[in-house]
Chains A and B, each alone.
Chain A
Amino acid sequence: MPLGIFAFFATLAVISALGVILQRSPVHSLLALIVTLLCVAALMIGLDALAVGLLQAIVYVGAIVVLFLFVIWLLNLERDPEESGRLGIKLLAAVGAAALVGELTAFLTRTHMSQQTVNSDYGSMAQLAGLIFGNYLIAFEVTSLLLLVAVVGVVAVARRWPSPRLANRPPTLSAKPQT
């Protein structure tokens, strides 16, 4: 990817990322997040990771962000109330940010890393599939378990209490039932 195009997407990604954490309204944060995610997808494609870049756009923007949007609407969240400024937390955040910026400079001052030339099939679906069903077979199978966990977990935690059997139980064992 030429430097100019990289600079464009990188700047846009950083600005929109700041938008995610600085805007008051959750929906605006979410819109900023979409821009960041798409910029990162573009940068991935620029790094010859075409399949993963497209997946990034489809999975994140198409599924995860929609899920966020759905929850925001479901909870009917508008603007946040005035952010309560807790000095300790903010200070901690500042120190953390400083440490991470330090890390950043450690990267940039390191010796120049160049991109190697790669075959034309680099990052193709076929190559990824070869790896996934080869060396990463176990990891792939574990992800199927993870998806099952997600299905069962969401049902368990987000479902409303269905049965009348539970309706007249006290919420905890120590709370006395109301008579």
Chain B
Amino acid sequence: MQALGPLILSWRSVLAPGIVALTAVVTMLVGSGLSEDESESVGWIALTGLVAAAIASLAASGDHIVTFGGSLIIDDYTAFFYLLIPVCSAVVVLFSFDYVAALGLPATEYYALLLFATTGMMLMAGAGDLIVMFLGLETMSISAYVMAAMAQRDPKSSEAGLKYFLLGAFSTGFLLYGIALLYGATGSIKLEAVAQMVRKHSIALSPFVLLGLGLILVGFGFKVAAAPFHVWTPDAYEGAPTSVTALMAVGIKLGAFAGFIRVLLIYLAPLHAQWSGVLWALAALSMTVGNLAALAQENIKRMLAYSAIAHAGYILVGMTAGRSEVGPALLYYLLGYAFANLGAFAVLVAVEQAQQSGTKLDDLSGLARNHPMLAAAMALFMLSLMGMPPLAGFVGKFYIFSVALESRYVWLVIIATLNSVVSAYYYARVIVAMYMREGAERQAQTRQPTLLFALAVAALATVIIGLLPHPYISASSAAYASAEQVLRPATAALQTK
């Protein structure tokens, strides 16, 4: 056995994901003892666990420490996502309560899988080696496949789950092959060891590393829904139950980007010259394909799917720049993106239930008169996704584009700006439909305190993060800086030479 230094077993690195995983088990145990009508109350257990995990994320903050033989990393970057991911899942739980009952989904399994998926996302953010990252990715993806297919009697749902599963499993093969090649080139799957080896020029350009890097980009490209690996996204988003779509659009993206940013921008930073070109193309393609296709959509879930592809493109613009200044911008952007999307899906869930309708654009016509609060909230989220000042979406986009511009990616920023302009059209269409079109008079009103609370959280977050960005930007900077600490000793050593 090789000596990899002492095996640090730290409770701090496993506390938050451990709480979520244990809550999942408790949920299953309690749920199995309840009758079907009562079982919907296990959502409260899930909610409690997620809040506890969000609080426990404090334990993971602090200086960069590698624990469990390199498997998990404790630093502010980990803590940032350990906090953000359970909060997002908790919001999803809040607007799931009545929706799960209305669709007749099996509640116990629903909440257990949601918690397992959350654990997987958190592990991706905290992983210090590629195999834990891979297992975290699988945990979150497999839970999501099942959740997408859960509304069994709706043929669209099982079709969505099927397509999501097949393409997800396909992409897993590529990611794993990439990990294998990187392992072959560097002799380790511990990210730190990989980074040290990659810094040596002779290894950095071996075909193993380049092929491995390419395959890993393909694998992550699938997971973050970047074009041209996005074909599954619209179908999976449209067919899945709306609350699951919210989890896919927010939680899965957060987990995947948390891992992607850490691997690429921090540990594989020496290969920037090799991967930036590929990311440039992925970013440009994702933005263009996402925004142009979104223009033609009549179903809002499908439109939000293409919008998610476009937003993945904006984030990739930042990643292409690859400088350490861009890290905080990416984290801040993810923050704004997460809450605006959560809010938009919460409104859709509310509309579906209140009007017993689908999620077509027509179903939203006249919403301003029937449900003025919902319409106002939806307008807010659309404006934030559009990038309208002073909301979170604007600040994030501006931040990313300005760093990319400083890094002299002028053309990419021009493409991104043009795309932002195009995107205004389809987001505005939603607002126009709600405020300026007459809809059928709808009588049904549902008052759900949990759903309204979820909406309020998302709306407040979208406004506050945009209006008072400084605390959030400094938190993002601190998080990214502590993840970068791993590079410092080596850079210092290079300078002294």
Contacts and interface: CB of A to CB of B under 8 A. Distances in A.
Q: Do A and B bind each other?
A: yes
B113 interface: yes
Contacts of A145: 21, 116, 119-120, 139
B387 interface: no
Contact of A131 (B1, B138, B152, B207): B1
Nearest to B37: A165
A22 to B, nearest CB: 19
Contacts of B110: 156
Nearest to A158: B152
Given A142-B136, A174-B358, A136 B36 contact: no
Contact of B142 (A127, A138, A150, A155): A150
Contacts of B106: 156, 159
Contact of B146 (A148, A153, A174, A176): A153
Interface string B345-358: 00000001100111
B123 interface: yes
B138 A157 contact: no
A172 B358 contact: yes
A140 to B, nearest CB: 9
B249 to A, nearest CB: 19
Contact of B132 (A130, A142, A150, A169): A142
A149 B152 contact: no
B463 interface: no
A173 B139 contact: no
Interface string A144-179: 011011101111110101110110010111101000
Nearest to B165: A157
Contacts of A85: none
A163 B68 CA distance: 46
B25 interface: yes
Interface string B94-117: 000000001110100110110010
Contacts of A162: 36
A155 B109 contact: yes
Contacts of A154: 146
A152 B207 contact: no
Contacts of A148: 24-25, 116
Contact of A127 (B1, B206, B358): B1
By size class, the interface of chain A is 35 or more
Nearest to B25: A148
Contact of B72 (A110, A130, A138, A163): A138
Given A136-B131, A148-B116, A153 B143 contact: yes
A8 interface: no
A145 B28 CA distance: 13
Nearest to B126: A138
A152 B110 CA distance: 9
A162 B211 CA distance: 49
B234 interface: no
A124 to B, nearest CB: 12
B161 interface: yes
A135 interface: yes
A149 B143 contact: yes
B142 A139 contact: no
A139 B211 CA distance: 25
Given A131-B1, A136-B71, A139-B132, A169 B139 contact: no
A171 B25 CA distance: 29
Contacts of B208: 110
A137 interface: yes
Contacts of B146: 149, 152-154, 156-157
Contacts of A153: 109, 113, 142-143, 145-146
Given A152-B116, A173-B357, A135 B71 contact: yes
Given A136-B69, A137-B71, A161-B153, A152 B28 contact: yes
Nearest to B105: A156
B352 A130 contact: no
Interface string A116-134: 0000000000010011001
A89 B109 CA distance: 37
A83 interface: no
Nearest to B352: A173
B113 A174 contact: no
A142 B71 CA distance: 11
A127 B2 CA distance: 11
Interface string B139-167: 10011011001111111101001000000
A30 B239 CA distance: 30
Contacts of A173: 102-103, 352-353, 356-358
B14 A130 contact: no
A37 to B, nearest CB: 16
A76 interface: no
Contacts of B358: 172-174
Given A138-B68, A173-B353, A156 B142 contact: no
8 contacts: A110-B207, A139-B71, A139-B135, A142-B132, A143-B135, A152-B113, A156-B113, A174-B363
**Nearest 8 interchain pairs by C-beta:** A135-B69, A153-B146, A156-B109, A138-B71, A174-B358, A171-B153, A166-B104, A142-B135
Interface of A: 103, 106-107, 110, 127, 130-131, 134-139, 142-143, 145-146, 148-150, 152-157, 159, 161-163, 165-166, 169, 171-174, 176
Interface of B: 1, 4, 7, 9, 14, 21, 24-25, 28, 36-37, 68-72, 102-104, 106, 109-110, 112-113, 116, 119-120, 123, 129, 131-132, 135-136, 138-139, 142-143, 145-146, 149-156, 158, 161, 206-208, 211, 352-353, 356-358, 363
